[in-house]
Chains A and B, each alone.
Chain A
């Protein structure tokens, strides 16, 4: 299923938004001073509806709110740790809270999931945003694994009068899904491989590596399943829980802190609620910041969730 062609999720979304902006004058795009050729094109094509608010993320969220309250449908673009953490209260008050009263159609494009900005150090890593955004009611939380899915989210997002947080990877990635794939954003996950013993569940860019492991490791076919979770809320929890019940061992894999309420928090709750004897192992970043510099693969391995770490744990359960 994996096809070549590298692209960033950001560019896939911008391309999809630009196509929509051509036909719909209610769509606005705000950025907090990020540079990219795709943004230059947007600025050129829509000088009235593209705005760079400057390096001012809090203003980004609230100006977007003002526009949305006037009926505009707004995309706001910023760097993940700054959008999610510098602006947490702005998001809470103006998006999560206000959208309970009125339609607030804002899509936050939060670029730089996990270790995307690997060499920029811990200030630029986004390891907390999944857990933070999960605490907010009324907020949709999207964590795509490839750019096809990211682009497909745009029409869905425009149709939902709610705020959304999109946790986008910062690196160009290959595609997992074909163009024609019909994503079910209400269900929120895709089963990429089925198995009867060990279930892997991952989100974001990690799904690429895990899928490769599943497809290429001898003896895993029909025994190891893989779920690509892309909507954290809202999503069909019952359907996901039913999938988890196919396995006696579940392994969660996320590029974020474990034990803090991210992917592992969601899966653990569903497993506990099922009252079934299922083990859950959580792979991700242990509770410490990484000052080590290096490639993304290096950082993942330093945290104990490189491919070999995952393979060893799965093999142990397959014995």
Chain B
């Protein structure tokens, strides 16, 4: 996928996404803001520079797949899909509302462009393996991307999938770990240390990359390299900041799922964001 990249425009859009995500979650009264804001630049790069998709035809067989295994980060995926034109941006204002098409966790039922219903942690990478294996056997050229959380990596099924992918040489599979170093109950080091994380994936037979998950050039270069790996699956450990860009809870475990009990809280969160002149699409 070759597109002209304007970093200023991308940064402006990322700030806009952060404002909209924060507004969506605050309007809903609660939500997983930390893990959504930590992958804004990654999702932007995937949808605008790396993945082949067709918003006019979300089920296009030749599309690259994305399994957002950390399904609680769905708000950022919804914003990315809306900006790409998969569905009207007005839907974004309905997160979790009665009758909404956008529930808090990624839902393949009513959201065009979502490849897998997720939310139960630890399961997405296995599904992505199945998709990648099918593509291999069918001779399809598409790639399968899967984003897992760092806390999610506690789940044992990830490591079953890790062995399967390496054994089957799924070089059309690129997994990304959102390594923001926090899970609900504290830092990943305190709860159940993942380190040495890169060594673990390497030992499982994956080609492993590390990147700064907020650096546009690093993300693009690393994901491009990961996509080009031959003979084995690729894992990209993305060093990110939980709730990046939302000073009220940035880089805290508490950002995992915030509660907005009143208007004052809403104003505090929205008012803390760097960009304020965002016109909400709903």
A49 part of interface (Cβ distance < 8 Å): yes
Residue A66 at the chain B interface, CB threshold 8 Å: yes
Q: How far is the CB of A311 from chain B (nearest CB, A)?
A: 48
Provide the bound-state CA to CA distance between A162 and B115, in Å.
18
Whether the pair A94, B127 counts as a contact (CB closer than 8 A) is yes
Taking A65-B127, A68-B130 as given, write out 16 further A-B residue pairs in contact, using a Cβ cutoff of 8 Å, ordered by the A residue number. A53-B164, A58-B126, A59-B126, A59-B161, A63-B127, A63-B130, A66-B128, A66-B129, A69-B127, A69-B131, A70-B130, A71-B134, A72-B134, A97-B117, A98-B108, A101-B109
Known: A62-B130, A70-B130, A98-B108. A90 touches B117 (CB 8 A): no
**Which residue of B115, B116, B117, B129 is within 8 Å of A59 (Cβ)?**
B129
Chain A residues within an 8 Å CB radius of B3:
none
Q: Cα distance A54–B129 when bound, in Å?
A: 14
Task: Answer whether residue A67 sits at the interface, using C-beta atoms and an 8 A cutoff.
Answer: yes
Once bound together, how far apart are the Cα atoms of A66 and B119, in whole Å?
16
Beta-carbon contact of B164 and A67 below 8 Å: no
CB of B181 within 8 A of chain A?
no
**Is the interface on chain A under 10, 10 to 19, 20 to 34, or 35 or more residues?**
20 to 34
Which residues 42-94 in A have Cβ within 8 Å of B in the complex? 48-49, 51, 53-54, 56, 58-59, 61-72, 89-90, 93-94
CB–CB B157/A70 < 8 A: no
Chain A residues whose C-beta falls within 8 Å of the C-beta of B120 in the assembled complex = 89, 93
A164-179 Cβ-contact flags toward B at 8 Å (1 or 0): 0000000000000000
| B160 in the interface (beta carbon within 8 A) | yes
8 closest cross-chain pairs (CB), A and B: A66-B130, A62-B126, A70-B134, A59-B160, A56-B160, A63-B130, A66-B131, A66-B127
Complex CA gap A101/B160 in Å reads 26
Contact B126 A66 (CB under 8 A): yes
Cβ-defined contact, B117 with A98, below 8 A: yes
Q: Do the beta carbons of B117 and A48 come within 8 Å of each other?
A: no
Q: Which residues of B contact A72 (CB under 8 A)?
A: 134
Q: Is A186 an interface residue (CB 8 A)?
A: no
Interface residue A277 (Cβ < 8 Å from any Cβ of B) = no
Say which size band chain B's interface belongs to: 20 to 34
Complex contact A48–B137 (CB within 8 A):
yes
A269 at the interface (CB under 8 A from B): no
Q: Is the CB of B157 within 8 A of A59?
A: yes
B164: which of A56, A61, A70, A100 is its contact (CB, 8 Å)? A56
CB distance from B277 to the nearest CB of A (A): 39
Whether A66 pairs with B163 at a CB distance below 8 angstroms is no
8 sample A-B contacts, Cβ–Cβ < 8 Å, listed by A number: A62-B129, A62-B157, A66-B131, A68-B130, A69-B115, A69-B127, A70-B135, A90-B157
Q: Is the interface of B mostly helix, strand, loop or mixed?
A: helix
Mask, B92-135, CB within 8 Å of A = 1, is: 00000000000000001100000111011001001111111111
Q: Report the minimal beta-carbon distance from A102 to chain B, rounded to whole angstroms.
A: 7
Chain A residue contacts of B138, Cβ below 8 A: 70
Q: Which residues of A contact B (CB under 8 A)?
A: 48-49, 51, 53-54, 56, 58-59, 61-72, 89-90, 93-94, 97-98, 100-102
Chain B residues whose CB sits within 8 angstroms of the CB of A49 once the complex forms? 137
Interface string of B146-188 (1 = CB under 8 A from A): 0000000000110011011001100000000000000000000
Count of chain A to chain B residue pairs whose CB atoms are closer than 8 Å in the complex:
87
B157 → chain A, closest Cβ, in Å?
5
- Complex: how many Å from CA A54 to CA B116? 24
- Are B117 and A69 within 8 A (Cβ)? no
Closest-by-CB residue of B relative to A57 is B160
CA distance A93 to B138 in the complex (A): 26
CA distance A94 to B127 in the complex (A): 9
Contact B116 A69 (CB under 8 A): yes
Asked whether, in the complex, the Cβ of B163 is within 8 Å of the Cβ of A54, the reply is yes
Q: How far is the CB of A52 from the nearest CB of chain B, in Å?
A: 9
Q: Which residues of B contact A66 (CB under 8 A)?
A: 126-134
- Residue numbers in A under 8 Å from B115 (CB-CB): 69
Find out whether the CB atom of B163 lies under 8 angstroms from the CB atom of A102. Answer: no
* Smallest CB gap from B127: residue in A: A66
Contact, CB under 8 Å: A101 / B117: yes
Q: How far is the CB of A65 from chain B (nearest CB, A)?
A: 5
B160 touches A69 (CB 8 A): no
State the CA gap A48–B133 with chains docked (Å): 10
Give the residues in chain B near A48, CB-CB below 8 Å. 137
- Closest approach, in angstroms, between the C-beta of A74 and any C-beta of chain B? 8
Name which residue of chain A comes closest to B137, CB basis: A48
Neighbouring B residues of A89 by C-beta, 8 Å: 120
- Asked whether B130 lies within 8 Å of A65 as measured between CB atoms, the reply is yes
Q: Which chain A residues border B129 with CB–CB below 8 Å? A: 59, 62-63, 66
B137 contacts A94, CB within 8 Å?
A: no
Distance (whole angstroms) from the CB of A61 to the closest CB of chain B: 8
Shortest CB distance B137–A (Å):
6
A64 to B156, CA, bound (A): 18
Name the A residues within 8 Å of B164 (CB-CB): 53-54, 56, 59, 63
Chain B residues within an 8 Å CB radius of A64: 130
Determine the chain B residues whose CB is within 8 A of the CB of A69 once the complex forms: 115-116, 127, 130-131
What is the distance, in angstroms, from A26's C-beta to the closest C-beta of chain B?
Answer: 9
CB distance from B240 to the nearest CB of A (A): 25
Chain A residue nearest to B129 (CB atoms) is: A63
Decide if A94 touches B123 in the complex (CB within 8 Å).
yes
Query: Which residues in A have their C-beta under 8 angstroms from that of B161?
Result: 59, 62-63
A48, A71, A89, A90: most-surrounded residue (chain B CB, <10 A):
A90
Measured CB to CB, the nearest residue on chain A to B122 is: A58
Contacts of B132 in A (CB 8 A): 66
